Amino acid sequence: PQGDRIVFASQRAGRWGLYEADADNPGSERLLLDAAEPLFPTDWSRDGAYVLYDRLTPDLGFDVWALPMADGDGAPSPVLATERDEAGAVFGGGARWIAYASRALVSEPYEVFVRPFLRRLGGHGRTERRRIVCRTTAPLRTPAALTYFLRVGVEGSGADATVTLTGSQGSG
């Protein structure tokens, strides 16, 4: 969150893990989460309280999960776990909101949705999605700006447009 630590995924000895390390000391890594399924971190709240990550399971495909980081012992919880693929979640609005990509079938393009992030439930809750009208097949992240750019196909034109997801990144 302050640029002094990083979270990354690694597969070791046939298991997937999320690791935390000091940005200037790669040897300082510590295992945060161990799983049989692939894990991919996508964002870390500015206040350092939560890491969002994608988890790929055989039954549900890609889903968005949250790992509490404040005490280091919190259990991960699903934020979005449905039959659709949900992936690439990022925080906005002081971690009150998340934007994520979703699709029903692998052959379909992704659509982008925005919804509240409910901290008291570890991010999980039954809430209505707010649809942003765009489709994408290639979410691109710019780490320096902590901003997602989406290459969006403009239907019928054969052209691409770029959408920038932004939001207040104050403590949340």
pLDDT (average), residues 97-121: 78
For the segment 12-53, what is each residue's pLDDT rounded down to a tens digit?
999 999 999 998 987 889 999 999 999 999 999 988 899 999
Q: Following DSSP, what letter does each residue of 12-42 receive, concatenated?
A: ETTEEEEEEEETTEEEEEEEEEEESS-EEEE
What phi and psi, each to the nearest 5 degrees, are found at residue 166? -130, 165
Percent over 70 (pLDDT), the chain:
67
Residue 136 corresponds to which amino acid? T
- pLDDT at residue number 72: 59
Q: Tell me if residue 61 falls in helix, strand or coil.
A: strand
Against a cut of 0.85, is the pTM above it?
no
- Is the CB of residue 129 less than 8 Å from the CB of residue 115? yes
Residue bearing tokens 């000895």: 13
Q: Tokens in use for 76?
A: 């991960």
